[in-house]
Amino acid sequence: MSEQYDVIVLGSGPGGYVSAIRCAQLGLKTAIVERELLGGICLNWGCIPTKALLRSGEMFHQMKHAKDYGLAAENITADLDAVVKRSRGVASQLNKGVTHLMKKNKIAVHMGTGKLVAPGKLEVVGEKGTETLEAKHIIIATGARARDLPKAKADGERIWTYRHAMTPKEMPSKLLVIGSGAIGIEFASFYNDMGADVTVVEMLNRIVPVEDADVSTFLEKALTKQGMKIMTSANIGTIEAAKSGVKVAIKDKGGKEETTEFSHVIVAIGIVPNVENIGLEDLGIEPDKRFHIKVDGYGRTNVKGVWAIGDCVEGPWLAHKASHEGVTAAEAIAKEMGNKDVHPHPLDRNNIPGCTYCHPQIASVGMTEAKAKEAGFEVKVGNFPFIGNGKAIALGEPEGFIKTVFDAKTGELLGAHMIGAEVTELIQGYVVGKTLETTEAELMNTVFPHPTLSEMMHESTLAAYGRALHI
Cβ contact 137:244 at 8 Å: no
> CB-wise, 172 or 388, nearer to ligand FAD?
172
Residue 439 DSSP one-character state: B
Residue 114 burial by Cβ neighbours in a 10 Å radius (0-12, 13-18, 19+): buried
Q: Is 114 annotated as belonging to a binding site?
A: yes
Q: Is 185 annotated as belonging to a binding site?
A: yes
Nearest of 249, 79, 270 to residue 176 by alpha carbon: 249
> CB-wise, 47 or 250, nearer to ligand FAD?
47
Nearest of 122, 88, 94, 119 to residue 108 by alpha carbon: 122
Q: Which residues bind ligand FAD (CB under 6 A)?
A: 10-16, 33-36, 40-42, 46-47, 50, 113-114, 141-144, 162, 183, 274, 278, 310-311, 317-320, 322
Instruction: Give the separation between CA 235 and CA 207, rounded to whole angstroms.
Output: 14
Neighbours of 109 (CB within 10 A): 16
Contacting residues for 192 by C-beta, under 8 A, at least 6 apart: 57, 198, 223, 226, 227, 228
Q: Is 282 annotated as belonging to a binding site?
A: no
Active site residue: 65, 359, 450, 470, which one? Answer: 450
Examine the residue annotation and report whether 450 is marked as an active-site residue of this protein.
yes
Instruction: Give the separation between CA 240 and CA 201, rounded to whole angstroms.
Output: 17
Least distance CB 131 / ligand FAD (angstroms): 12
Cβ contact 234:253 at 8 Å: yes
Instruction: Give the separation between CA 281 and CA 316, rounded to whole angstroms.
Output: 24
Instruction: Give the separation between CA 310 and CA 292, rounded to whole angstroms.
Output: 10
Identity of the residue numbered 139? I
Phi and psi torsions of 159, nearest 5°: -110, 120
> CB-wise, 30 or 142, nearer to ligand FAD?
142
Q: Is 81 annotated as belonging to a binding site?
A: no
Alpha carbon distances (Å) from 28 to 108, 114, 137, 138, 280: 12, 20, 10, 12, 24
Instruction: Give the separation between CA 87 and CA 93, rounded to whole angstroms.
Output: 10
Cβ contact 331:308 at 8 Å: no
> CB-wise, 111 or 408, nearer to ligand FAD?
111
Least distance CB 7 / ligand FAD (angstroms): 15
Cβ contact 265:187 at 8 Å: no
> CB-wise, 113 or 452, nearer to ligand FAD?
113
> CB-wise, 49 or 385, nearer to ligand FAD?
49
Q: Is 326 annotated as belonging to a binding site?
A: no
Beta-bridged to residue 32, according to DSSP, are 9, 109
Instruction: Give the separation between CA 424 and CA 361, rounded to whole angstroms.
Output: 7
> CB-wise, 44 or 199, nearer to ligand FAD?
44
Q: Is 82 annotated as belonging to a binding site?
A: no
Least distance CB 72 / ligand FAD (angstroms): 34
Q: Annotated binding site for FAD: which residue ranges?
A: 51, 114, 311
Query: Binding site residues, as ranges?
Result: 51, 114, 179-186, 202, 270, 311
Catalytic residues: 450
- Residues annotated within the binding site for NAD(+) are 179-186, 202, 270
